[in-house]
Amino acid sequence: MHFSSNVKQFVLLLIVGIFLLLGYVFFYILCNYYIIISTTQSGLILFCFFSRTDVVAVTPWLAPIVWEGTFDPDLVDIIYKSMNLTIATTVFAVGKYVRFLQDFLETAEKHFMVDFNVRYYVFTDRPDDVPSVNLSQGRHLSVIQVPGSNRWQEISARRMEIIQTAIERQISREADYIFCLDVDSKFHARWGAESLGRLVAVIHPWFYQQTRDHFTYERRPASTAYIPMDEGDYYYAGAVFGGSVEDVYTLTKVCRNQLEEDARNSIEAAWQEESHLNRYLLYNKPSKLLSPEYQWDDKKTKTKEVKVIRFSSVIKNYAEIRPNV
């Protein structure tokens, strides 16, 4: 009798122990892996991948921040490729910046939205100098002539107005999503459908480890791009923004109006359209953020969090390439 009550206690303890162990394993898996079960034409697929603990992968308003290791490229492709989407890509090559087009387009063909319908819209004052690059099936390129300027600040800032007009005239009928990118850049690795969202911005590579007081927002209240010292979420790069064509249309329209209002008041924001973009995104939160993997700078030494550089600005001689200094 005495012996059997000990056995009972032992068995009970064993069961509790097993449950605790299972709970621990379950909790560990929950915290460290994403497990996704998906039904596809070929049946049930189990996706299981390790999550990152060295970077923050979500904003305070619960928008994902896309880092390598926070998504499964195979799953993303299965979901998005069946939708037959078209992605517009705007790129400006005004004046001497046409020289960047070849590398930009050739590397985009290798890495940007591979197997999707892509429409490049190249805005330039030198249409004859646009290189002919072999495009894969489902990919198109339109050249749109725009005026030149003797001020780089104006070329950079006028992009908002020109993109807004191009969306109205053409892009809204031709694409579902849009990315607006700097031309002085190259793709190095996959940039796929994980980047798609309603309103998408990229965290600037020089500021992702900085606190808000170091952000180079426009600080003069006289500008419509003004952000007070105690506000701001991230410092976004002007070289990459995107989203649904509709949402990007609103963004470019608002930024364009604010740039024009500033011009009427003879004030130019510290970083032109980048300042206005930051102001817009403070009050219209992006639904997805891209990590600096999607906008690196070749001048910057790679940091340990950045496992893969997907797109980066090339090193350029500003004095030689820009129309003014």
Ligand X SMILES: CC(=O)N[C@H]1[C@@H](OP(=O)(O)OP(=O)(O)OC[C@H]2O[C@@H](n3ccc(=O)[nH]c3=O)[C@H](O)[C@@H]2O)O[C@H](CO)[C@H](O)[C@@H]1O
Interface residue list for ligand X (CB under 6 A): 92-95, 97, 152, 155-156, 182-184, 204, 237-239, 271-274, 295, 313, 322-323
Q: Name the nearest CA neighbour of 71 among 34, 116, 40.
A: 34
* Among Mn ion, ligand X, none, partner that 154 touches (CB below 5 to 8 angstroms by kind): none
Tokens 């500033």 sit on residue: 262
> CA angle at residue 88 from 179 to 155, to 5 degrees?
60
Q: Which residues are annotated as part of the binding site?
A: 92-94, 97, 182-184, 204, 216, 274, 297
* Residues of this chain that bind Mn ion (CB under 5 A): 182, 184, 313
* Among ligand X, Mn ion, none, partner that 65 touches (CB below 5 to 8 angstroms by kind): none
Burial class (CB in 10 A: 0-12, 13-18, 19+), 174: middle
Instruction: Please identify, using beta-carbon distances, which residue of 111 and 316 lies nearer to ligand X.
Output: 316
* Among Mn ion, ligand X, none, partner that 249 touches (CB below 5 to 8 angstroms by kind): none
Q: Which residues are annotated as part of the binding site for UDP-N-acetyl-alpha-D-galactosamine?
A: 92-94, 97, 182-184
* Among Mn ion, ligand X, none, partner that 152 touches (CB below 5 to 8 angstroms by kind): ligand X
Least separation, in Å, of the C-beta of 25 and Mn ion?
A: 48
Least separation, in Å, of the C-beta of 184 and Mn ion?
A: 4
Whether residue 201 contacts residue 240, with contact meaning beta carbons closer than 8 Å, is answered with yes
Instruction: Please identify, using beta-carbon distances, which residue of 76 and 225 lies nearer to ligand X.
Output: 225
Q: Which residues are annotated as part of the binding site for Mn(2+)?
A: 182, 184
Instruction: Please identify, using beta-carbon distances, which residue of 155 and 309 lies nearer to ligand X.
Output: 155
Residue number, nearest CB to ligand X: 238
Least separation, in Å, of the C-beta of 217 and Mn ion?
A: 19
Which pair of tokens denotes residue 10?
């032992």
Least separation, in Å, of the C-beta of 139 and ligand X?
A: 20
- The sign of the dihedral angle between the CA atoms of 94, 115, 35, 50 is negative
Residue number, nearest CB to Mn ion: 182
Instruction: Please identify, using beta-carbon distances, which residue of 192 and 205 lies nearer to Mn ion.
Output: 205
The residues annotated with a catalytic role in the active site are 274
Instruction: Please identify, using beta-carbon distances, which residue of 51 and 216 lies nearer to ligand X.
Output: 216
Which pair of tokens denotes residue 240?
């990459």
Tokens 């997907």 sit on residue: 310
> What is the length of the chain?
325
Residue 295 to residue 36: CA distance in whole angstroms? 28
Separation in Å, CA 302 to CA 111, 139, 212, 294, 309: 20, 32, 22, 13, 8
Least separation, in Å, of the C-beta of 97 and ligand X?
A: 4
* Among Mn ion, ligand X, none, partner that 238 touches (CB below 5 to 8 angstroms by kind): ligand X
